[in-house]
Structure 1
């Protein structure tokens, strides 16, 4: 296996700057755990309230679909939250996944040899 400065840094000093030490929650998982489950809402009923298909919500909850601006606004309206919050969760998830992918490909991290 090729060892890069990035891998050496993460092995000796933790993760590179800007990378959380562990994966943040996917917004769908967060939605399910902090809103749907405590409220006793099934995915079918939640999808109806949000005005989206059950499949769309199911894929979001399973982490197979991203939190879009449209869905973020719908969640904000239904759950009296902020659309920016939902989009920030998605951005954190996307950022972590991008770092993870780049880190898994030694020699492909720009500026790091």
Structure 2
């Protein structure tokens, strides 16, 4: 029986969710909140949240702080997700 010589790395083990995937699936959808409602609640233009969701904008320090405070998460939570995603890509 032949053995595979292909390298297996972390990319082969698990999907690499974007911060947007987590924002949508774990935060917005469960409570039925729209991107626009979130943007208004954290004082951002709706376009900015939409750009993150579409993968056109990365999470910045400012957005991390706003999302973290709104969802009562530690500072750096969203930046950590962004950094993890970027490193795996």
TM-score, scaled to structure 1: 0.67
| Alpha-carbon distance in 2 for matches of 1:25, 1:81 | 19
| Alpha-carbon distance in 1 for matches of 2:40, 2:68 | 15
Aligned residues: 85
8 Å contact from structure 1 (residues 23, 96) kept in 2: no
Structure 1 gaps, min length 5: 1-8, 98-113
* Matches for 1:1-113 after TM superposition, within 5 Å: 11=6, 13-15=7-9, 19-21=10-12, 22-97=14-89
Deviation by residue 1:15-39 (Cα, 9 ceiling, x = unmatched): 2xxx443442111121111111111
TM-score, scaled to structure 2: 0.83
Instruction: Tell me the C-alpha RMSD between the 2 structures.
Output: 1.8
Please give the secondary structure, in 2, of the residue aligned with 1:83: coil
Please give the secondary structure, in 1, of the residue aligned with 2:59: coil
Structure 2 gaps, min length 5: none
Please give the secondary structure, in 2, of the residue aligned with 1:52: coil
| Alpha-carbon distance in 2 for matches of 1:23, 1:94 | 13
Q: Extract structure 1 runs of 4+ deviating beyond 2 A.
A: 19-23
